[in-house]
Amino acid sequence: MQPLRTGDSGPAVAEVRSALREFGLLPALAPGAVGTADDTYDAAVERAVRAFQQRRGLITDGIVGPATYRALREARWSLGDRMLGLLISAPMSGDDVFALQERLLELGFDTGRPAGVFDAQTEKALRAFQREYGLNQDGICGPATLRALRQLGRKVTGGRPGLLREQERVRRAGPRLRGKRIVIDPGHGGPDRGVTVAGVAEADLMWDLARRLEGRMAATGMEALLSRGENSCPPEPERAAFANAAGADLVLSLHTDANRSMHAQGLATFHFGNGNGSTSTVGEALAGLIHRELLYRTRMLDCGIQPRTWEMLRLTRMPAVRIEVGYLTHLGDRRKLLDPVFRDVVAEGILVAVKRLYLLGQNDQPTGTFTFQDVLAHELARAE
C-alpha cells in the first residue's frame, strides 16, 4: 500500500478514520453527518495516528505505512470475533490472537512469547489445552474452546509465565558463550542500500560491523550466523523465520538511522514490547546491557532504550535486540562510523554485553572495563 499522510484523501483514509474512531482517538461522527471531510487526512488524523503509534510501539511519525496499517487492522479484533487456527500461508494475527496466547499462558500452556501471531507453537499449546479439558483436539479456537477458556481460572501465579520461561532459559544456558547460537542481522543489503549519505551506505557499514562481530563471537566458541549475504536483502519476516529455524539463542539486528534534521544524532536500542503489556524481559535486559556498554565506549548521545513491535523483534521466538548505531545524516556520527577502529569498538561492546547477559551479574566488571581479552580468558578458565 502507498503510505497515507497529511493532505491525502480517499477510501483508504476513510477506513483509517473509522478505525481511529473505534479506538476513541477521533470523535464519533455526528448523527446524519455527510460530506467529504471523513475521507481527508487532516491534522486531527495525524495526531490520532501518532497517539495510536505510540500506544502500539511503532515509530510515531504520523504516517500510515504498512506497519501502522497492519497494527490498525489487528487492533480491531477481540477474542471471540472469529475462529482462530493455524494458516501456514497467511498466519492469523491480531489482538484476539494475543488475548488467546495470554489466556493459554495463564493456564499453564506454553505459547512462547505472546506476539499476536497464531503460529505452530500456539496451535500446539491450544491442542494441549483441548486435550486436557476433554475438547475436540482440532487446534481451532471456536465457540466451545472459547467458553472453556473463559470459565477456567488461571493456574500460573507469581509472574507472567512467558517472561519467567524466557528468564529461566538464560539461567539454564550457563555463563559460557561456547555453543551459543547467535543470529547477526545486518540491516538492508543488495539493492536496498538503506540510509545513504555522501556515498556512504548503511548496508555496507552494517555488513562490515556484522563481520567484525561474527569473528569475535567465533573466537569465543559461539556459533554466529548472518541473516543475509553481502548482496541480498531478505524481508524481515524471512530473517525472523531464519532465526527461528536455526534455533538461535539471541538475535542482534544492526542498523544506522537518518533524520531530516542534520542535528539528530546518537545511539538507540530496541527490544520487543507492545502496548498490551507483553514484552521480552531478556530482550529488554540485553538491550540495556548493549546500550550502556556502547554509550560508555563510544560517547555517543543517549537516544534511549525503547520497546517496538517491528517484525524482526515481534516474529522471533528468542530475545532480539535492534541497535541503531548513530545517524548517517549527522556529520559527527558518520565520521565515527567510517572509522574501522570505531566499528571494532562497537563490535567488542556488543560481545561484552552478550557475555554480561549470561553471567547474570556474577564475576562481572564495571561497564566499559570488560575487554575482548577478558571474555576469552573467562571462556578458557571455564573450559578448564
For domain 175-383, give the fold: Aminopeptidase (3.40.630)
3-state secondary structure string, 187-221?
CCECCECCCEECCEEHHHHHHHHHHHHHHHHHHCC
Same fold, 11-75 and 175-383: no
Q: What is 95-157's CATH superfamily?
A: PGBD-like superfamily/PGBD (1.10.101.10)
Q: Which triple of cell numbers denotes residue 236?
A: 524481515
Low-confidence stretches of the chain (pLDDT beneath 70): 30-37, 153-164, 275-277, 363, 383-384
- Nearest to residue 315, comparing CAs of 243, 254, 210? 243
What is the reported pLDDT for 277?
A: 65
Sign of the alpha-carbon torsion through 17, 23, 24, 28: positive
All three cell numbers of 208: 562490515
pLDDT of residue 158: 46
**Where exactly are the structural domains of the chain?**
11-75, 95-157, 175-383
**pLDDT tens track for 231-275:** 999 999 999 999 999 999 999 999 999 998 989 999 999 999 876
Angle at 267 between CA 309 and CA 366, to 5 degrees: 105
Q: What DSSP character marks residue 42?
A: -
Q: Please give the pLDDT value at position 150.
A: 87
Asked if CATH classification 2.60.40 holds for the domain at 11-75, the reply, yes or no, is: no
DSSP label at residue 28: P
DSSP 53-102: HHHHT---SS-B-HHHHHHHHHHT--TTSS-B---SSS--BSHHHHHHHH
- In one-letter notation, the amino acid at residue 341 is V
Cα dihedral 155, 315, 324, 72 sign = negative
Residue-wise pLDDT tens digits, 30-55 = 666 555 468 899 999 999 999 999 88
Q: How far apart are CA 110 and CA 121, in angstroms?
A: 8
